[in-house]
């Protein structure tokens, strides 16, 4: 897929970052979950990630799981495990 096809399917990403192999895009539209009483504390927080090569085509995709709101800060700093 090209960048235009990804945007058409998922919308604009929340973050675009240049990496050695090309570009990394992240979608993290789950921030609202952290602000819902009770539910927000236990809500699963994850980001969807797409990696593009130098030619602008997808070379990889996945999701990064940050656990719940209690775990998120630690996992963002130290990794998921």
Q: What is the 3-state secondary structure (H, E, C) of the chain?
A: CEHHHHHHHHCCCCEEEEECCEEEEEECCCHHHHHCCCHHHHCCCEEEEEEEECCCEEEEEEEEECCCHHHHHHHHHHCCC
Query: For the segment 7-62, what is each residue's pLDDT rounded down to a tens digit?
Result: 998 889 988 999 998 999 988 766 555 556 555 556 666 778 899 999 999 999 98
This prediction has a pTM of 0.65
Q: What is the model's pLDDT at position 76?
A: 64
CATH code, domain carrying 33: 3.30.1450
Q: Which residue, 40, 44, 5, 45, is CA-closest to 25?
A: 5
pLDDT of residue 72: 59
Provide the number of structural domains found in the chain: 1
Q: Are 72 and 45 in contact (CB under 8 A)?
A: yes
Q: Which domain holds residue 69?
A: 3-78
């Amino acid at each position: 897929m090209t960048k235009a096809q990804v945007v058409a399917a998922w919308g604009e990403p929340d973050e675009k970052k240049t990496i050695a192999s090309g570009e990394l895009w992240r979608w993290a539209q789950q921030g609202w979950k952290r602000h819902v009483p009770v539910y927000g504390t236990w809500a699963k927080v994850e980001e969807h990630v797409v990696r593009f090569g130098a030619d602008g085509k997808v070379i990889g995709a996945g999701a990064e799981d940050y656990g719940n709101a209690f775990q998120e800060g630690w996992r963002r700093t130290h990794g998921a495990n």
